[in-house]
């Protein structure tokens, strides 16, 4: 689709990195995936995101764009002729941004903390899920996705954490999406995971579980030395 030079600095296991990867897939944009090695930061990353030094960073014709949600919106604006990711109606657009921001603020931190501080944190992640079940009912308007009949910005923001949520369920037995409390989201998660724009970039649960074990072993070794 594009003659532009598009590179993405990231890592396969990172939920934040999954966001721009799904967005680029929706737009059928080819890109080079530059993977960071765990535990070290490349010169290119440090130069491209000197403020946060975090992945993902999109390099579009050499110009860096940082922060996953901002990158997703940028991709939607630049490749505007392909399926849109943000709703065109201003009110729906504001609503979608509201839920994407809510997920960043409440869902990500609680999911990430769930394995360490099992009960309290997992409870708040589960409460956020119930809130999202309501949002799904309101914004999907009978479609499969938060964006209606196609994947939108809220699907991308929420869905990028599915791998981690599943890995946590395997590792510590905490179920963040469940049939009883969030039946809509269970169905949504299946549809999202199977979508052509998603299925190749959503990490397999077993691989994430292995990766998490490796990380915690490294942390323990570092703490003991």
Binding site for ligand GSH (CB under 6 A): 14, 16, 53-56, 67-69
Give the shortest CB-144-to-ligand GSH separation in angstroms: 25
Rg of the chain over all Cα atoms, to the nearest angstrom: 18
Nearer to ligand GSH, 35 or 84 (CB): 35
Give the shortest CB-49-to-ligand GSH separation in angstroms: 8
Beta strands in the chain (DSSP E): 6-10, 32-35, 57-60, 63-66
Nearer to ligand GSH, 156 or 182 (CB): 156
| Residue 19: φ, ψ to 5° | -60, -60
Give the shortest CB-143-to-ligand GSH separation in angstroms: 26
What are the C-alpha distances in Å from 90 to residues 69, 87, 93, 95? 18, 7, 5, 9
Give the shortest CB-11-to-ligand GSH separation in angstroms: 7
Nearer to ligand GSH, 67 or 144 (CB): 67
Nearer to ligand GSH, 45 or 182 (CB): 45
Give the shortest CB-56-to-ligand GSH separation in angstroms: 6
- Edge to edge, the sheet with strand 63-66 lists 32-35, 6-10, 57-60, 63-66
Q: What whole-number distance in Å separates Cα of residue 40 and Cα of residue 136?
A: 38
Largest Cα separation within the chain, whole Å, is 56
């Amino acid at each position: 689709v594009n003659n532009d030079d598009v590179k993405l600095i990231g890592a396969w296991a990172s939920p934040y990195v999954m966001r721009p990867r799904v967005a680029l897939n929706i737009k059928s944009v080819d890109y080079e995936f530059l993977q960071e090695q765990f535990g070290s930061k490349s010169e290119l990353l440090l130069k491209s995101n000197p403020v946060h030094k975090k992945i993902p960073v999109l390099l579009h014709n050499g110009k860096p764009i940082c922060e996953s949600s901002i990158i997703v919106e940028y991709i939607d604006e630049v490749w505007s002729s392909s399926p849109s990711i943000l709703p065109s109606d201003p009110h729906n657009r504001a609503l979608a941004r509201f839920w994407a921001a809510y997920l960043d603020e409440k869902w990500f931190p609680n999911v990430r903390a769930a394995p360490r501080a099992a009960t309290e944190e997992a409870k708040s992640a589960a409460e956020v899920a119930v809130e999202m079940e309501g949002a799904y009912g309101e914004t999907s308007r009978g479609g499969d996705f938060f964006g209606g009949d196609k994947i939108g910005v809220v699907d991308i923001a929420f869905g990028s954490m599915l791998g981690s949520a599943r890995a946590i369920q395997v590792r510590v037995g905490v179920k963040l999406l469940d049939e009883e409390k969030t039946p809509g989201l269970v169905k949504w998660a299946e549809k999202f995971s199977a979508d052509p724009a998603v299925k190749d970039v959503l990490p397999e649960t077993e691989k994430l579980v292995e990766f998490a074990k490796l990380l915690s072993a490294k942390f323990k070794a570092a703490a003991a030395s």
